[in-house]
């Protein structure tokens, strides 16, 4: 039998639809919690696409594409 995983430690993709409300209630929405989440996301992105032995253009091109989309949204506020 697999060990029971606490709902707090469950990833978003593994949460059932009925558990979504209680899972969201357990999240840390303080400024330090949000900053920590952003830091974890950046570290995950950096280690997966930038900090690799044999690098490619995948990570940098995704970053550039994100910047282009963001600048387009800022330029055309009616979109």
Residues 16-66: tens digit of each pLDDT: 888 888 888 888 889 999 999 899 999 998 888 778 777 677 778 888 999
pTM of the complete model: 0.55
| Residue 41 covered by a domain | yes
Q: Give the list of residues 6+ apart from residue 66 with CB closer than 8 angstroms, or none.
A: none
| Residue 1 covered by a domain | no
pLDDT band (50, 70, 90) for residue 1: very low
| Residue 15 covered by a domain | yes
Range of the domain at 43: 7-76
| Residue 11 covered by a domain | yes
Domain count, the chain: 1
């Amino acid at each position: 039998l697999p060990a029971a995983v606490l709902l707090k430690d469950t990833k978003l993709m593994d949460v059932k639809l009925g558990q979504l409300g209680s899972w969201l209630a357990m999240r840390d929405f303080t400024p330090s919690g949000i900053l920590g989440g952003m830091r974890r996301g950046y570290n995950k992105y950096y280690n997966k696409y930038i900090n690799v032995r044999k690098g490619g253009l995948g990570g940098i091109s995704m970053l550039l594409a994100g910047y282009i989309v963001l600048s387009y949204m800022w330029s055309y506020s009616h979109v």
